[in-house]
Structure 1
Amino acid sequence: MSDINHAGSDLIFELEDRPPFHQALVGAITHLLAIFVPMVTPALIVGAALQLSAETTAYLVSMAMIASGIGTWLQVNRYGIVGS
């Protein structure tokens, strides 16, 4: 496994490279759209299944977003054995 052929690599950026701002912005927006659907959809499904009011369903979606934000914050920062 130590003989890795780097000549045929399809990498656009290396590990420490920084993409131009417009490419990073498009990637960030794409990522936000990709995580928005699996974060909001379960809250909407649960709200509909329980026949909750629109206000309660909106609150459920908001709490799902806040929980996702807290989970992301804990994951990207190190707190003892938790985080990266």
Structure 2
Amino acid sequence: MLALLCLCALCFGASAQAGPTKTYYTVYCANGKIEVDMRDPEQMKSARGSNTFPLRQFEYRGDAENFAKSVKPNEATVCKK
């Protein structure tokens, strides 16, 4: 019984020390449009096609959305590679 308690303590202690994983929001050009998404570039290419690439990455969704809004319509043509 004592061994089981020690094992549980070790498991929970290790997971608590690992901490939460960081979430990032990326602004992408996807098929000629600006998008904010949490997926990594490979997942986005799989979902949106090969004409998808990241512009910038942010820790906060609001920052990513503000950046996406700041891209002027004529600058968005960079997404149409």
Q: Quick check: TM above 0.5?
A: no
Pairwise TM-score range, normalised by the shorter structure: under 0.3
TM-score, normalisation: structure 2 = 0.26
Higher strand share: 2
Higher relative contact order (CA 8 A, sep 6+): 2
TM-score norm. by structure 1 comes to 0.26
